[in-house]
Structure 1
Amino acid sequence: MPTETPPHTTDKFDDDDYPAYTMGRAAEMIGTTPAFLRAVGDARLIVPLRSEGGHRRYSRYQLRIAARARELVDQGTPIDAACRIVILEDQLEEARQLNETLRRAAADPSQPTGS
């Protein structure tokens, strides 16, 4: 009889914020070095969680953010500026989503705003 995986275990695979990747694996996935990941951490673009042993762990969301910063750095943007650009892009996207939600709510007052 096969054993079932507890539901909370499979949920982690679908969670973009679950810190599933070690520094080495994360660097490999986005085609950079651990030093780059430390640098974007020092710039406070991403803050990796720490394992019980103190090792950095990254989520898929954090890797997407770091990969965007890497694109900018590869184009010649200084790392601090790249991190600031990525933060501003992220804030702009959140504002756009909020704006769209509010527009829909204004067009149809019977819909909840999701706040």
Structure 2
Amino acid sequence: MGRAAELVGVTPAFLRGLGTARLIEPQRSEGGHRRYSRYQLRLASRARELVDQGTPLEAACRIIILEDQLAEALRINAELQRSRTGRPAEASHPSV
């Protein structure tokens, strides 16, 4: 956990807070150590950005979850468009 916190530029307590807020749930090693994926570290980094801008942690986590859901919905929409037309969909998505 210490190395992950160092990579993101936060404290271990911040990472634990993200776990409490259910933004990230790290895997556990056989020794019980938290293991974070690159994706989870990107989410933690985004949370840090929002918190540094003054957003409360719980709100930052909710924003990130909604951003992730939007990105997934846009990806699914693009896939459906491609399957209907047989060609790539244009990259049109709202500014976030």
**1:65-104 alignment to 2 at 5 Å?**
65-104=43-82
Residue 35 of structure 1 aligns with an amino acid whose one-letter code is A
- TM-score normalized by the length of structure 2: 0.87
Following TM superposition, where does structure 1 have runs of at least 4 consecutive aligned residues deviating by more than 3 angstroms?
none
- Partner residue in 1 for 2:40: 62
Largest Rg, 1 or 2 = 1
Matched, 1:35 2:13: yes
Task: State the number of aligned residues.
Answer: 87
Deviation at 1:55, TM superposition (A): 1.3
For residues 25 and 51 of structure 2, what CA distance do their matches in structure 1 show? 19
Which is bigger in relative contact order (C-alpha 8 A, separation at least 6)?
Answer: 1
Deviation at 1:108, TM superposition (A): 1.7
For residues 27 and 65 of structure 2, what CA distance do their matches in structure 1 show? 19
- Partner residue in 2 for 1:14: none
Deviation at 1:68, TM superposition (A): 0.5
For residues 55 and 43 of structure 1, what CA distance do their matches in structure 2 show? 19
- TM-score normalized by the length of structure 1: 0.73
User: Percent identity of the aligned residues?
Assistant: 71
Backbone CA RMSD of aligned residues: 1.1
Unaligned runs of 5+ in 1: 1-22, 110-115
Unaligned runs of 5+ in 2: 88-96
Deviation at 1:52, TM superposition (A): 1.3
